[in-house]
Structure 1
Amino acid sequence: MSILFYRRPNYVARPTGPLNQADCQKYVERTRNNKNAIPPELCFERIISNKAMPEKPCSLEDFMDYLIYIEHDAENLQFYLWLQDYTRRFNATKVAEKVLSPEWKSNELPLPPSNTSDAGAMRPDHSAFLELTDIPRTSKVSIADHQSIVSSTIFTVKSHSEQALGAHSQTGLKWEPFTVQPFRAEIGKVISHYLAPGSPRELNLSHRDRNAILHALQHTTHPSAFTIVANIVELTLRGQSHPNFIRWSICNGNKPRVIFVRTVGISNVLLGFLIAGSLSLSRLSRWYRLCASLAWFVGFSILIAAYKGLCVIMHKARVRNLKPWEQDEEDSTYPHDQALSISDLERPETMKSRRARSMDSFGTTNTFSDDSWVSKYKHKSLFRKVFDRTVWMQDDALRLLQEKIVLQSNLWALIVTLPLTALFVALPAGGLF
């Protein structure tokens, strides 16, 4: 795309109601529109795999911070990361265990009627598993007997935790107290954290999709039971959260700094008009009016770049403002340019605990009102916020995007400045003083 018409990724707003598969399909087209605005080095796959400059500011942890503190929608990424890990672990289990949780298909039988035995509805089908065993089968031994033998001789019976059972009762489903399906206890934790109404990290799902997922999980622990929610979460992350994150990451200054820079840009533009107007009314040579072009060019360049969240001075210095939560992570024993590149073992305890809390699949609710940085940043003076601490810009791919925006700002400033300068130079002298 031409430098002159380069645009940051478009901001994608979230729908007001629960997400469904039809709404998420709209993100696909928006993702195509942002294809040229996001370089391959910052694509969704690289950020999720933490290959996009793992230090700052486009690492997986930064993506998580953005979703927690800016978009307030981190449960999608937390669930997505858990499901990826769960799928790998499930596929790595023994065949004899996986066969107890067959793949779920969307056209499976509906929920059993209310008068059906709950235990019968929830008991997995072991007939396929029995084909893999050497347990003798005669006409006098029923399938139920074989299930009992399998459960008592091969598998360790696991019960759901009290938290999971409470979540199951909230969803209105009846669950067996014991199961031989692999990862059944972990599935119970997922339901209590992400799917049950009022859960700590409740996903924004429609009532219909939620019931379909819970119905699938009622019968199997196979990853395919999460197909509906997996599609919704991935489309939301790819088409909405990821482009917004890249758009936000391009900004190298905090909000007070950007507002200050915009004010400086407007002041330079007004100064240019003041110089050009004063010289036009004087008896001086009209060529003196060319001095206004410098103020106009600098003002428009700063103003256009600041409109896109960039401070030109900080860009030239190759630094960016520290985020408020990053400032609380810094250890005073380390220099500012090294504080964010130290290893996890050397990081302050507040930083490690916050990272562990956000990256934990079964952590607490994603709130930050009690974090120490909130109060510290709130009580900072406006002057300190404008001239806040900075850190070295580490991601070269992100810096190239900033270079495009700065060059684009200079070109547009030149396009606006030239006709303005020509207009004022062509005006006749006023001769007032």
Structure 2
Amino acid sequence: MGLLPYLGQVIANVNYRRPDYVSTSSSAASMDDLSQTESTGSAKSQGIPEALSFDRIINGGTCPPMTVREFMNYLEYIELAPENLQFFLWFRDYARRFEQSQSQSQSKSHNPFTTPPPTAQSEGPNPPPTDYKYPSSNARSFDAEADDESPINLPVPVQVQAKSAITPEVGSVAPWEMDWEKDPSLTKVHSSVQASYRAIAHRTFTEAGLEVPPTNLPFRDEIDRIIAIYIASPAPRQLNLSFRLRHTFLIALTTTTDPSAFLPVVKSVESSLRFQAHPNFVRWSICNGNKPRQVFAHGLGAFLIVAGLLYALLTTLSGMSRGWRAFAAFFWVLGISTLHLRPWELWECGEEEIGLEGMEHSSNPQPNSSPDEKQEKDAGTKKPKEDYPWVKKYEKRNIIRKIFDREVWVQEPALRQIQDVIFLQSLLVGVTAGGIATVVFLVVPGGGFF
């Protein structure tokens, strides 16, 4: 895009207003309470262009600093609640692998030479549904009676085949299982960890008054891990679910591991991400300076405004000509209209530290990781912010170095355009306010006191 068309777009959006901050106090209630009304969610999404929409970020259609990795960084280090995005990314990957596994099982069991094509009159189990892939816009369609005490209407559970019939190949197993497959020496550690997950999952079902599901369901071990990490109470990264939604979800898991059983929970998690975390992430990303630089800029702006006022007063009270008073406008314009690297970006953190391991966006595992380290990562334990290595290193930096920290180019065009629009708004406000103040001092007659 040329310079003139780009400037035209910036000027056309001069009335832009960045998204309002969505208070995290609403997270005290359950996440499904957050998605009761469509109008509320739509209002919170105002100020977010289509290029920075939630779907574009999740599907990898954005550039730094608006990618899934930066989104996870924000939730991990700023909101201190990355579990929603981790669970959401896991489910997308799990639904894809489950469907592939079912397709492979059906293709292997079908013999075109001896088996006639299925008809509506054929007996046997129904094929697994494939409609669990819901459009992203469904998150905006909420039930007005979400607080009703009636049970949630889940999709009809599918009685899937035994695990031995659809055992996935190595290429389709859960990403975190690949570590154990590549390193046979960790088999014993993996077995003990999986046993603890299964014990936690069994305890969760028992405490809910439900029967323990059979172990021959497909991906049962993986579901046990998910229950132990995200669903059990307490859990390292427990999702904020209402009792009714959690209980109904566990009921569905007693008979099936089909992705359709996860839909109510996934929609609740997606609502929290789409209407709370995502607007806050966009709002936070627009400001490309750290806190010390913001304080410095605000202080410098206040100083220039005061300096311009003193200069205008002195030139007005003195015997100097009126033309000298006009120079006060430079102080006022600069004072009214004044991308750092984030602290964790100054010291590169591995993706496994920000919770991207086991997701479709994860990097290769580190070969030098010890079994204990892998066991801790697999458990999904949430680390306090003070435990990250960059925190202490950043606190040791002096204030001057923080103000003039390293900068990085903003690669996302939509974010750059928003920042340019905000800069233009500040410049217009500065010129307008500075011009009015200058005119006022120009029309005042000189004092001639000195």
- Offset at residue 353 of structure 1 (A): 4.3
Other structure's SS at 2:236 match: coil
Whole-Å separation in 2 of the counterparts to 1:10 and 1:241? 12
Q: Does 1:323 align with 2:342?
A: yes
1:174-185 to structure 2, matched below 5 A, reads 174-176=210-212, 178-185=214-221
1:7-406 to structure 2, matched below 5 A, reads 7-14=17-24, 15-26=26-37, 28-33=38-43, 37-53=47-63, 56-94=64-102, 106-107=152-153, 154=165, 161-171=195-205, 172-173=207-208, 174-176=210-212, 178-302=214-338, 320-329=339-348, 351=350, 353-354=352-353, 357-360=355-358, 362-367=378-383, 368-406=385-423
Q: Residues 364 and 6 (structure 1 numbering): CA distance in 2 closer, same or farther, change over 3 Å? A: same
Q: Is the 8 A contact 1:76 1:237 kept in 2?
A: yes
Amino acid aligned to 1:223: P
Whole-Å separation in 1 of the counterparts to 2:350 and 2:240? 28
Amino acid aligned to 1:90: F
- CA RMSD in angstroms, aligned pairs only: 3.1
Q: Residues 408 and 417 (structure 1 numbering): CA distance in 2 closer, same or farther, change over 3 Å? A: same
Render the CA deviation track for 1:379-400: whole Å, top value 9, x for unaligned.
1111211111222222222111
Q: Residues 253 and 397 (structure 1 numbering): CA distance in 2 closer, same or farther, change over 3 Å? A: same
Q: Is the 8 A contact 1:63 1:245 kept in 2?
A: yes
Amino acid aligned to 2:426: S
Q: Which residue of 1 aligns with 2:147?
A: none
Render the CA deviation track for 1:358-415: whole Å, top value 9, x for unaligned.
4336552232422211110111111211111222222222111100000111111122
Q: Does 1:6 align with 2:16?
A: yes
TM-score by length of 1: 0.74
- Offset at residue 430 of structure 1 (A): 1.2
Amino acid aligned to 1:32: S
Other structure's SS at 1:393 match: coil
Amino acid aligned to 1:161: A
Other structure's SS at 2:21 match: coil
Q: Which residue of 2 aligns with 1:113?
A: none
Q: Is the 8 A contact 1:193 1:201 kept in 2?
A: yes
- Offset at residue 23 of structure 1 (A): 2.4
Render the CA deviation track for 1:177-219: whole Å, top value 9, x for unaligned.
7433211221111111101011111001122211111111122
Q: Which runs of 5+ in 1 are unaligned?
A: 110-123, 130-149, 303-319, 330-349
TM-score by length of 2: 0.72
Q: Is the 8 A contact 1:217 1:225 kept in 2?
A: yes
Q: Which residue of 2 aligns with 1:423?
A: 440
Amino acid aligned to 1:369: E
Amino acid aligned to 1:366: K
Q: Is the 8 A contact 1:168 1:196 kept in 2?
A: no
Q: Which residue of 2 aligns with 1:306?
A: none
Q: Is the 8 A contact 2:105 2:165 kept in 1?
A: no
Amino acid aligned to 1:22: D
Q: Is the 8 A contact 2:34 2:272 kept in 1?
A: no
Q: Is the 8 A contact 2:230 2:238 kept in 1?
A: yes
Other structure's SS at 1:369 match: helix
Other structure's SS at 2:380 match: coil
Other structure's SS at 1:11 match: coil
- Offset at residue 291 of structure 1 (A): 0.9
Whole-Å separation in 2 of the counterparts to 1:191 and 1:102? 23
Q: Is the 8 A contact 2:31 2:272 kept in 1?
A: no
The alignment-based identity, stated in percent, is 39
Whole-Å separation in 2 of the counterparts to 1:125 and 1:61? 35
Whole-Å separation in 2 of the counterparts to 1:257 and 1:176? 55
Q: Is the 8 A contact 2:95 2:259 kept in 1?
A: yes
Whole-Å separation in 1 of the counterparts to 2:399 and 2:128? 60
Aligned to 1:408, which of 422, 425, 429? 425
Render the CA deviation track for 1:113-164: whole Å, top value 9, x for unaligned.
xxxxxxxxxxx986x97xxxxxxxxxxxxxxxxxxxx78x8577x9973322
Whole-Å separation in 1 of the counterparts to 2:329 and 2:402? 32
Q: Residues 203 and 177 (structure 1 numbering): CA distance in 2 closer, same or farther, change over 3 Å? A: closer
Q: Residues 177 and 290 (structure 1 numbering): CA distance in 2 closer, same or farther, change over 3 Å? A: closer
Whole-Å separation in 1 of the counterparts to 2:281 and 2:250? 31
Amino acid aligned to 1:33: A
Other structure's SS at 2:337 match: helix
Whole-Å separation in 2 of the counterparts to 1:101 and 1:213? 22
Other structure's SS at 1:50 match: coil
Whole-Å separation in 1 of the counterparts to 2:397 and 2:250? 47
Amino acid aligned to 2:318: S
Q: Is the 8 A contact 2:341 2:407 kept in 1?
A: yes
Q: Residues 276 and 325 (structure 1 numbering): CA distance in 2 closer, same or farther, change over 3 Å? A: same
